Structure 1
Amino acid sequence: MKERLFKEIDNAPLVLFRIFFGFLLACETFGAIATGWVRDNFIVPKFTFSHIGMEWLQPLPGSGMYYYFAVMGVLGMLIMAGYKYRYSMGLFTVMWAAVYFMQKTSYNNHYYLLVLVCLMMCFLPANRYASADVKVNPALKKLTMPAWCSWVMIVMVSIVYFYATLAKFYPGWLNGTFARQLLNGSVKNDALRAVMTQKWFYLFITYSGIVFDLLVVPLLLFKRTRTIAFIASLIFHIFNSITLQIGIFPFFALSFAVFFFPPEKIRSIFFRKKPVVLNYGFSKDGAGALAYFFIPFLIIQLLLPLRHYLIKGDVLWTEEGHRLSWRMMLRTRNGGTRFRVVEKATHKDLFYDAYSDLTPKQEAAMGTRPDMIWQMAQRIKQEFKTREQDVAVYAITNVSVNNDPYKALIDPTTDLAAVSWNYYGHCTWILLYDSKDNPIK
């Protein structure tokens, strides 16, 4: 096993991935400005719902976030060119991680995947060929890399697909409910939507999604099935790109395919002038990074998605353990929340228009997600504290998942301003869907 990991292979796959990756990072960040995503999520809102514990991460004032994303776009191009690669990749990683943790109103799994892959790329020798760094310093040039450089990427993408498959084994997916709702809401063309929301079509999408996520990695690993698997990947991801409009993710997912094909094949197609290596040996380059970063890192990624099994309640309802778990596009949440603010000294209800501080998108997201409801209650508490009033904050919720019957999500008798968030277990004030104390509304 150790010999296979440290056997030298052509570094064409990693170099090509760096070029694809940098291009996609530039598209993601410049595109976020052009499409209004930056405006809607960082400029217009008065504040953002950061990840719990990182509330200090808030957008730059004024037009600052436009410049922030522009800098990331430039860094993406520098990564693509392989210029000052370690610095460019490291700085982009820090800046993108800040963006990810700064807001969750527009949470997307591929934003999290970008954080992880950026971090991995910081430790990989992706600038040893076809890079500006090599032009400046020819001593950096190298034609090979240890095989583990490809394997860590294969393991990472395998984890993503495995947990994406596992998450689909629940009634709302298996009976086609979510696929029908997703297609009905995403497809704008009336004639196309009429076809796609027919039972035979959405059930085909439902089960082909499971089969694809389960088998694509094993099929890409074997020579006999690799081409078929790659063609299936093209069809699957391009279909998702057209119908779901999920940004760079389909192309990002496709870019991992370079690690499954023989390195010599990648070199012969994309780097025809690259010298052929006649004798591959063994290389201990990066052995420390593999042992002390990549192996612990991948073990953590393997364990994190399992944590919701240790938390009481259905994760689809409570959302506890939902993030960082590759639970991608599994449910729709509808409903809303209103807050009751009570002055503790007088026991009088106080008027507070919580939604005057929120954009419509923030209001929709906050109204059905426990962590954001709790954060809003904490914000209301602080707002009244500035007025020298000590208040209790109660949430009256009415929520439905996948168009199931509406129920209360939060215990209306719990003062959310006085309770803490449980990072590692179930918050008892989040009512379980099947609880006897939570009747259908």
Structure 2
Amino acid sequence: MQHFLFKRIDNAQLIIFRVCYGLLVCMECFGAIATGWVHRVFIAPKFTFTFIGFDWLQPLPGNGMYFYFALMGILGIFITVGYRYRLAAFGFAFMWTGVYLMQKTAYNNHYYLLMLLAFIMAFFPANRNLSLDAKLNPAIKTDLMPNYIRWIIILQLFIVYTYAAVAKLYGDWFDLTVIEVLMQGKKELPVLGEVLQQRWTHWIIAGFGIVFDLLVVPALLWKPTRKIAFLLGIFFHLFNSIVFQIGIFPYLSLAFCLFFFEPQTLRKLFFRGKGVKVPEAIWVPAHSNLLLVVLGVYFTVQLVLPLRHLAIKGDVLWTEEGHRLSWRMMLRSRQGLAEFTVVDKATQEKHQVDLGQYLSKKQQRKVGCYPDYIWQFAQHLKKEYQAKGKDVGVYVSAKVKVNKGPWGAFIDPRVDLTAVPWQHFTHHEWILPQENQ
């Protein structure tokens, strides 16, 4: 195991990936400003849905989030050129984690992957070549890296793709229901719009989606299928980019393929220099045991966390409990309607809340059908009325529809949501069971 993990290999894969990674995060951050995403998500809303437990992490006031994203974009440039790399990489990792946790209205599994990758890259010695750091300090320059660096990336990708494939193994994917629902919103796409409504297209998407996710990593690892897998990956990720417009993730996924190609091939393409002679001697660092423990804990969490919904009562597609952080991508479409009633405990006076006074249209859609949004907004209402000197309860009547299923009552209207705690790993009994609908 030590020979496998700590043998030294050519670091061309990591060095080129660092450049791609830096460019992509720079584009993501400046693009978020240019497209108005920062304004829509952080500046325009009156209320922000953070991840529960991170209410203290709020967007900067005024135009502060523009400067926040601009700084992250600059850090992306520093990562690209390898200048003050460690500081820039950790700076971006912490700032992106802040972005991820301070809002979830625009939640995306890919944002979670980028958060994990940002910290992984911050620990990697990705500035040891083709960087300003190596030019300013030649002592750090090297063409080598330990083998475990490459395999951390490969194992992380394997987990992501495998769980994405397994999650698709359910009825609404096999009978094309979920794909039909997802494609209905793509009718206006030029050229592709009409094609995406065809039944035969849905069958291709359903089959290819599972097979690609399940086999792409093994196919890239095996030399005879590597080029075919890469070409299919280009098609798959460009399709996702055009149809679903999911930011840098498709291109980041293609950049990950660098870790599957031989370093000497990459050097011929990108460095145009001689090959690297890799020494046979194994160098095991003094902290090797600590490193193995940390990696063991990290990947154990990565393997177990996506399965936590199996230990929570109810169907995750209905309750949403255990959905996030589990690589359950493009699996369902939810619609919902929720009515919030505030009851003054002293006078029993009731007041129905106008959601439009508090939330953007996208936030209203989220609060209509996701239990954590409903619970959080109930807490917000309670705090608002407490500031006015009133002690209130908040009751919610909600109906939800998943994919093409029937509408069903979702929240127990008899429960005061301000009086119940949020629990991350157990079922909330005020979420009504789907089988009763």
Whether the TM-score (by the shorter chain) exceeds 0.5 is: yes
Query: What is the TM-score of this pair, normalised by structure 2?
Result: 0.97
Letter in 1 for 2:271: F
In the alignment, what sits opposite 2:323?
322
Displacement after TM superposition at 1:4 (Å): 1.3
CA distance in 1, matches of 2:292, 2:192: 51
In the alignment, what sits opposite 2:107?
107
**Do residues 211 (structure 1) and 223 (structure 2) align?**
no
Percent sequence identity is 50
Letter in 2 for 1:55: D
CA distance in 2, matches of 1:297, 1:278: 29
Counterparts of residues 125-136 of structure 1 (less than 5 Å): 125-136=125-136
Contact in 2 for aligned 1:4/1:147 (Cα 8 Å): yes
**Do residues 372 (structure 1) and 377 (structure 2) align?**
no
Change (3 A) 1:276 1:142: same
Displacement after TM superposition at 1:288 (Å): 5.5
In the alignment, what sits opposite 1:300?
301
In the alignment, what sits opposite 1:29?
29
CA distance in 2, matches of 1:161, 1:289: 28
In the alignment, what sits opposite 2:281?
281
- 1:64-104 Cα shifts (integer Å, max 9, x gaps): 00000000000001001111111000010000000000000
**Do residues 224 (structure 1) and 227 (structure 2) align?**
no
CA distance in 2, matches of 1:173, 1:374: 29
Residue 417 of structure 1 aligns to a residue whose secondary structure is helix
Unaligned stretches of 5+ residues in structure 2: none
CA RMSD of superposed structures (Å):
1.4
Displacement after TM superposition at 1:276 (Å): 2.2
Contact in 1 for aligned 2:187/2:197 (Cα 8 Å): no
Displacement after TM superposition at 1:6 (Å): 1.1
CA distance in 1, matches of 2:126, 2:278: 21
Letter in 2 for 1:339: F
Contact in 2 for aligned 1:145/1:283 (Cα 8 Å): no
Letter in 1 for 2:270: F
Displacement after TM superposition at 1:283 (Å): 2.7
Unaligned stretches of 5+ residues in structure 1: none
Displacement after TM superposition at 1:336 (Å): 1.6
In the alignment, what sits opposite 1:258?
258
CA distance in 1, matches of 2:269, 2:196: 37
Contact in 1 for aligned 2:318/2:434 (Cα 8 Å): yes
In the alignment, what sits opposite 2:416?
415
Contact in 2 for aligned 1:345/1:390 (Cα 8 Å): yes
In the alignment, what sits opposite 1:343?
344
Counterparts of residues 184-195 of structure 1 (less than 5 Å): 184-189=184-189, 192-195=192-195
Displacement after TM superposition at 1:193 (Å): 2.4
Contact in 2 for aligned 1:146/1:284 (Cα 8 Å): no
In the alignment, what sits opposite 1:401?
402
Change (3 A) 1:188 1:79: same
Displacement after TM superposition at 1:278 (Å): 5.2
Letter in 2 for 1:408: A
In the alignment of these two chains, the number of paired residues is 436
CA distance in 1, matches of 2:396, 2:282: 61
Displacement after TM superposition at 1:199 (Å): 1.0
Contact in 2 for aligned 1:220/1:229 (Cα 8 Å): yes
In the alignment, what sits opposite 2:425?
424
**Do residues 382 (structure 1) and 383 (structure 2) align?**
yes
Displacement after TM superposition at 1:207 (Å): 1.0
Change (3 A) 1:187 1:87: farther
CA distance in 1, matches of 2:193, 2:372: 34
Query: What is the TM-score of this pair, normalised by structure 1?
Result: 0.96
Letter in 2 for 1:29: C
Change (3 A) 1:108 1:169: same
CA distance in 1, matches of 2:431, 2:52: 16
- 1:5-39 Cα shifts (integer Å, max 9, x gaps): 11111000011111110011001100000111000
Contact in 2 for aligned 1:316/1:331 (Cα 8 Å): yes
